[in-house]
Amino acid sequence: MSFVETLILGSIAGLTIFLGLPLARLRVVAPKHMAFLNATAIGILFFLFFDIVAHAVEPVEAAVRGRSSDVPLLLVLLIGGFLIGLLSLVYYGRRMAAGPGFTAARLAIVIATGIGLHNFSEGLAIGSSAHRGDLTLALVLVVGFGLHNVTEAFGIAAPLAGKHPSWSLLALVGLIGGGPNVFGTLIGYQFSSEPVSVLFLALAGGALVFVIGELFSAGRKLNSPLWNGWGIGIGFFAGLLTDFILVAIGA
């Protein structure tokens, strides 16, 4: 598969995130509906976090079982990446607290950043499979990750619901969340690196822990525990369903 064809595939997989972002422009007024959308985002990000951790830990476990010399490096990347992803946002949050704090737009950007780090690793998988000439696998990954990105877009859009965000803001968070898929595809086409994949997955996992905490804080202020419960459950199983689709099509 040519470089240009691979670039097109990576772009399709990453930019499907724009299909779910218009949800943010829905006019949601009732607190219970806001709580439901916020909780749905939490559920989706919960699933995404567990999915990220599973994929990040898998190569480390394989290296440990095989007594590979790469174990120390992979452990440093896993632990260090997670801490950097989490603590960088903690310190950023402290700076924001001195000003207006986390606005809906800033929170959406942070969520998009965490998802973008995850999507970069997905792009690596698409690029490396295309470089090996495995067209079938590359197409399967594009379809699967594309569906996954539509669901992830709901997690970005939820904090903005009822705020009537501008199209320019939605374009920005879409590029932050989906753009790294394209860059990951380009890099993955040039070379395959398991340590790089582990690092970006760990960064994404740490960032999502912070984001989930912020969304929980916002949800408590809306005082709708029943809607929170339903939202988290539906969001989690929506993410799980897209993962089952990935498995079904062989990704």
Mean predicted confidence (pLDDT) in 211-240: 86
Does the pLDDT of residue 1 top 70, yes or no? Answer: no
Report the distance separating Cα 48 and Cα 220, nearest Å: 22
Pair 151, 242: CB distance under 8 Å: yes
Total domains in the fold of the chain? 1
This prediction's pTM? 0.76
Are 119 and 183 in contact by the 8 Å Cβ rule? The answer is no
Helices (H), the chain: 3-15, 31-65, 71-97, 104-131, 135-157, 167-190, 194-222, 225-248
What average pLDDT is seen over the chain? 83
Cα gap 244→144, rounded to integer Å: 10
Residue whose C-alpha is closest to residue 52's, from 207, 195, 175: 207
pLDDT confidence bin for 229, thresholds 50/70/90: very high
Radius of gyration for the alpha carbons in the chain, expressed in angstroms and rounded: 18
Tell me what percent of the residues of the chain surpass a pLDDT of 90: 19
Structural domain containing residue 230: 3-248
- Which of 154, 113, 112, 111 is closest to 242 using CA atoms? 154
